[in-house]
Chains A and B, each alone.
Chain A
Amino acid sequence: MSEIAVESFPRIRTGAKVRPVTQDAPVTRYLLIATTLVFSLTFLFAPLALVFVEAAAKGFSVFLEAFSEPDAIAAIKLTLLVAAIAVPANLVFGLAAAWSIAKFSFPGKSLLITLIDLPFSVSPVVSGLVYVLVFGAQGLFGKWLSAHGTQVIFAVPGIVLATIFVTFPFVARELIPLMQEQGTVEEEAALTLGASGFTTFVTVTLPNIKWGLLYGVLLCNARAMGEFGAVSVVSGHIRGLTNTIPLQVEILYNEYNTVAAFALSVLLASLALVTLGIKSFLEWRHADALAAGGGRH
Chain B
Amino acid sequence: MLGPSGSGKTTLLRVIAGLNAPDRGRVYFDGQDATNLPVQDRRVGFVFQNYALFKHRTVGDNIAYGLNVRPRHSRPSREQIRARVAELLKFVQLESLGSRYPSQLSGGQRQRVALARALAIEPRVLLLDEPFGALDARVRKDLRRWLREVHKETGLTTIFVTHDQDEAMELADRVVVLNEGSIEQIGTPSEIYDQPVSPFVISFVGEAVALPVNVEAGRVTFGDRTLHIDTHGLRSGPARVFFRPADIAVATNGAGELEGRVESLRRTPAGVRATIAIDGYDQTLEIDSPLDQAAALGDRVPLSLANARIFTVSDTKTDYVDAGEGI
Contacts and interface: CB of A to CB of B under 8 A. Distances in A.
B52 A191 contact: no
B69 interface: yes
Interface string A126-138: 0000000000000
Most buried by B among A194, A195, A207, A208: A194
Interface in A186-225: 186, 188-196, 199, 203-204, 207-208
Interface residues of A, number: 16
Contact of B54 (A189, A196, A199): A189
A1 interface: no
Nearest to B114: A189
B54 A192 contact: no
Contacts, number: 63
B215 interface: no
Chain A facing B: main interface SS: helix
Interface string A234-262: 00000000000000000000000000000
A185 interface: yes
A193 B69 contact: yes
A194 B19 contact: no
Contact of B65 (A185, A193, A196, A207): A193
Interface in B171-210: none
Contact of A199 (B39, B69, B121): B69
B48 A185 contact: yes
A192 B44 contact: yes
Contacts of B228: none
B40 A189 contact: no
The 3 residue pairs across chains A and B that have the minimum distance between CB atoms: A193-B66, A189-B52, A195-B69
Interface of A: 185-186, 188-196, 199, 203-204, 207-208
24 contacts: A185-B48, A185-B50, A186-B52, A186-B54, A188-B48, A189-B46, A189-B48, A190-B69, A191-B40, A192-B19, A192-B39, A192-B40, A192-B45, A193-B117, A193-B118, A193-B120, A194-B40, A194-B69, A196-B40, A196-B69, A199-B69, A203-B54, A203-B69, A208-B56
